């Protein structure tokens, strides 16, 4: 604990962090089944569609000014379904997420270097809306799965913006006195508490926000009939909790129940429990439960993913390897930094997108006779 103290890390009472691996009871065996060269520009994000059971094998990637929709077929086949090219050739998309209209049409929500969010109606194969508001590039977009018309974006401008894709309204802006002090790199919605959001960034902190007191504005956004610009957007300046569990950039965070998984550029993911003191806003303790070392993961903007049931987590590194719980996936020709992974609904397929514009597909063959 002495060395940890020198790094400035503190841990709450309880079990000390265990250095270990996320090993499921039954190991899966993955084999490379496809490699697809999309182009020469980096692919920064890839995401499966978990919102609609009809499209569980459909995924989307963003690279350069292009958004591409694919389908994973049997035998490792990857089929191109749709492709969209932004009119601005200098646009570079960094983030993408699936959303859904009230009628059930799948939306693709993407943002990048220009700070503009594009909402594409993939059902009608057309642009649905464009959101302008961020003052700098967008690093992540996430969807509220309990209300999939709602998305949140994290930006270099030190703010989070909460949007209604159906009506085009910016409902809330998370920034100000208690907000992040540097670029925000990642954000996530709590899987069951519709009011909770966590975010992290270059200021090395992870913050938990609550929208409970502003929920009436969320409801109002669905029935608003005036111009979106006239909506009474509210600022949320103070999080309910701020934690410093890392001492370097934190570029990915995800809720795991009431626990949080967060990854820093210090070659590790941490699993920890936030101990929020409800009576004193912004304070609380940290109970670090486990650390998961990731070799050669010391550059920022490398993000991990989980399957729908959170049975496995996957993360790439700068040398082109993927780590799945204890199991490492690699291929001799995969040596470019993996910016993001996507894990299928049941964990049977893992996708990675790389700096050299390649998509790699790995399939679970542990139950295969071949």
DSSP per-residue codes, 139-181: EEEEE-TTSTTEEEEEETTS-EEEEETTTTEEEEEE-STTS-S
Highest mean pLDDT, choosing among 1-10, 214-223, 311-320, 323-332: 214-223
- Mean pLDDT over each residue of the chain, to the nearest integer: 90
Angle at CA of residue 138, ends 97 and 68, nearest 5°: 40
pLDDT, tens only, 321-335: 999 865 566 778 889
Does position 306 have pLDDT exceeding 60, yes or no? Answer: yes
Angle at CA of residue 331, ends 330 and 332, nearest 5°: 125
Residue 216 structure tokens: 């009436």
The whole model's pTM is what? 0.89
Q: Distances in Å between the alpha carbon of 195 and those of 147, 178, 356?
A: 11, 18, 38
pLDDT, tens only, 105-135: 999 999 999 999 999 999 999 999 999 999 9
Does position 218 have pLDDT exceeding 60, yes or no? Answer: yes
Residue 332 structure tokens: 């001799």
Using CA atoms, how far apart are residues 52 and 123, in angstroms rounded to an integer?
Answer: 12
* Nearest of 47, 56, 52, 58 to residue 93 by alpha carbon: 47
What's the mean pLDDT in 254-270? 94
Greatest Cα pair distance, the chain, in angstroms, is 61
Give residue 4's pLDDT: 39
Contact partners, residue 204, CB within 8 Å, separation at least 6: 244, 246, 247, 248, 249, 250, 264
**pLDDT class for 6, splitting at 50, 70, 90?**
very low
Does position 186 have pLDDT exceeding 80, yes or no? Answer: yes
3-class DSSP state for residue 220? helix
Kind plus residue range of the DSSP H or E element containing 78 = strand 78-85
* Nearest of 130, 132, 74, 133 to residue 107 by alpha carbon: 130
Give residue 280's pLDDT: 59
Give residue 10's pLDDT: 40
pLDDT, tens only, 52-103: 999 999 999 999 999 999 999 999 999 999 999 999 999 999 999 999 988 8
**pLDDT class for 278, splitting at 50, 70, 90?**
low
**pLDDT class for 13, splitting at 50, 70, 90?**
very low
Give residue 366's pLDDT: 83
Give residue 20's pLDDT: 54
Does position 214 have pLDDT exceeding 70, yes or no? Answer: yes
> Around 297, how many Cα atoms within 13 Å sit in the side-chain half-sphere?
30
Give residue 85's pLDDT: 97
Give residue 14's pLDDT: 41
Give residue 283's pLDDT: 65
| % of the chain with per-residue pLDDT over 70 | 89
Using CA atoms, how far apart are residues 65 and 44, in angstroms rounded to an integer?
Answer: 11
Residue of 312 and 329 predicted with greater confidence: 312
């Amino acid at each position: 604990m002495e060395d940890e103290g020198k790094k400035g890390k503190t841990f709450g009472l309880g079990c000390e962090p265990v250095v270990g691996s996320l090993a499921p009871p039954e190991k899966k065996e993955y084999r490379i089944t496809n490699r697809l060269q999309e182009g020469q520009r980096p692919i920064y994000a890839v995401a499966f569609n978990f919102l609609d059971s009809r499209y569980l094998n459909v995924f989307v990637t963003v690279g350069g000014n292009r958004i591409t929709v694919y389908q994973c077929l049997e035998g490792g086949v990857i089929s191109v379904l749709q492709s969209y090219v932004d009119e601005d050739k200098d646009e570079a998309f960094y983030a993408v997420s699936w959303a859904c209209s009230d009628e059930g049409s799948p939306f693709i929500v993407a943002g990048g270097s220009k700070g503009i969010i594009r909402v594409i109606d993939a059902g009608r194969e057309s642009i649905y809306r464009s959101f302008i508001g961020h003052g700098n590039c967008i690093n992540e977009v996430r969807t509220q799965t309990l209300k999939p018309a709602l998305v949140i974006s994290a930006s270099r401008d030190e703010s989070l913006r909460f949007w209604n894709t159906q009506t085009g309204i910016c409902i809330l802006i998370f920034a100000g006195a208690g907000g992040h002090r540097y670029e925000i790199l990642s954000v996530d919605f709590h899987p069951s508490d519709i009011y909770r959001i966590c975010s992290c960034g270059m200021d090395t902190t992870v913050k938990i926000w609550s929208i409970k007191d502003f929920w009436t504005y969320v409801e109002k956004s669905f029935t608003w009939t005036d111009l979106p610009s006239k909506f009474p957007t509210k600022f949320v300046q103070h999080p309910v909790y701020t934690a410093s569990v890392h001492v370097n950039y934190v570029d990915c965070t995800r809720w795991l129940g009431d626990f949080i998984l967060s990854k820093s550029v210090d070659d590790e993911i941490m699993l920890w429990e936030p101990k929020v003191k409800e009576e004193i806003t912004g304070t609380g303790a940290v109970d670090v439960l486990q650390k998961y070392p990731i070799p050669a993961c010391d550059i920022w903007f490398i993000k991990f993913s989980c399957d729908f049931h959170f049975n496995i987590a996957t993360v790439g590194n700068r040398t082109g390897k993927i780590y799945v719980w204890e199991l490492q996936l690699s291929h001799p020709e995969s040596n470019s930094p993996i910016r993001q992974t996507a894990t299928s609904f049941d964990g049977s397929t893992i996708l990675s997108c790389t700096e050299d514009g390649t998509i790699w597909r790995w399939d679970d063959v542990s139950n295969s006779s071949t």
